Chains A and B, each alone.
Chain A
Amino acid sequence: MSFANFSPEWFFGIDIALEFLFAIILLAVALFGLKIYKSTCQRYVKYFSLSFFLIGISYVIQSIFNYLMLSKLNEAICYVMKVQSITSFNLYGMYAHMLFMTIGLVFLVYMTFKIEDKRPLWLLMIISLLAILFSFNKLYTFYLISSVYLIFLVWHFLKNYLKNKTKNSLFIAIAFLFLFFGNVHFLFSMQHDLFYVIGHILELFAYLLILINLLTIKKNEKKERSS
């Protein structure tokens, strides 16, 4: 089983391109966050960058495995790696995606706490991963847990918007709202493939908003440097 199993045929390839695009946007934000961390040395900025990096990697894995699912390379890799079947090989990809995404979301949620104590971080991570590992339907549990984290993040970013009232903070709050709704659609993608498509489209809107925010900041940075 792979994520590509939930995609309608006409959407094959488009989903891979979108996931790759999401990964690039996330990694670009992570890189910029790292730059801000170098200037500020604030721990929670480091967690922020790390979370975006991990979520970005999870999309890279998802897009690669979806691509392999469609290409003949899959069989060759299975043969070289001595993996018993293509199905189990793709399962590894799905698990890797879930692992990186879950850890990334946990880091992002932990960042919002702004506390020194690392125990809640480990607690959230262990509970989330154990819940996914021991559940009957791992993918469903993964999307359920991600949805809980995302709604928590929506709440954080909405509160942040109400505090700052800037266009950028509004973009981020809306982006996470889209990510939450996208994730909810993925929950139902096992029932109907259209939900898989809607989930990707909602994610596309979300990541475009995140990209616009990054580009605005970069533009202002250039302006600041030249003045």
Chain B
Amino acid sequence: MRKKRDRLEIIHDILHVIRKKGSGIKPTHILYKSNLSHQMLTDYLSELIEKDFIIENTNKKEKKFYTLTDKGYNYLNEYKIIREFADSYGLG
């Protein structure tokens, strides 16, 4: 059985999904790929927008899509170190 993901890992997974798509991803795709409930994903996305990790955009059809900010990219690049530090002290 897979270990329960902590906050840092969930944030990583969401950002990773958004980066993979590159040009912007719809919330339904994030929901499908990040393996979260709708409510949880909404909470995480709001937090990530508020903390400036992602940007919410709308296209011509008024549909939402998300892209990474520099801070979001930085999180993914630094994730291994963040993980190592968090695991040492149980910060995850």
Q: Size band of the B side of the interface? A: 20 to 34
Cα distance A40–B85 when bound, in Å? Answer: 12
- Chain A residues with CB under 8 Å of B87's CB are 160, 164, 166, 168-169
- B43 at interface, CB cutoff 8 A: no
Query: B90 near A224 (CB under 8 angstroms)?
Result: no
Cα distance A166–B75 when bound, in Å? Answer: 22
Q: B1-38, CB under 8 A of A: which get 1 and which 0?
A: 00000011001000000000000000000000000000
Which of A33, A156, A171, A217 touches B90 (beta carbons < 8 Å)?
Answer: A156
Query: B78 near A39 (CB under 8 angstroms)?
Result: yes
Query: A36 near B88 (CB under 8 angstroms)?
Result: no
Q: Size band of the A side of the interface? A: 20 to 34
Q: Please name 11 pairs of A and B residues whose Cβ atoms are closer than 8 Å in the assembled complex, sorted by A.
A: A32-B85, A36-B91, A39-B75, A39-B78, A39-B82, A40-B75, A45-B91, A48-B91, A112-B90, A159-B90, A221-B81
Cα distance A224–B85 when bound, in Å? Answer: 14
For the complex, would chain B's binding face be called helix, strand, loop or mixed by DSSP majority?
helix
- B63 at interface, CB cutoff 8 A: no
- A213 at interface, CB cutoff 8 A: yes
Which of B8, B53, B78, B88 touches A166 (beta carbons < 8 Å)?
Answer: B88
Cα distance A47–B2 when bound, in Å? Answer: 29
- A14 at interface, CB cutoff 8 A: no
Interface residues of A in 36-51 (CB under 8 A from B): 36, 39-42, 44-45, 48
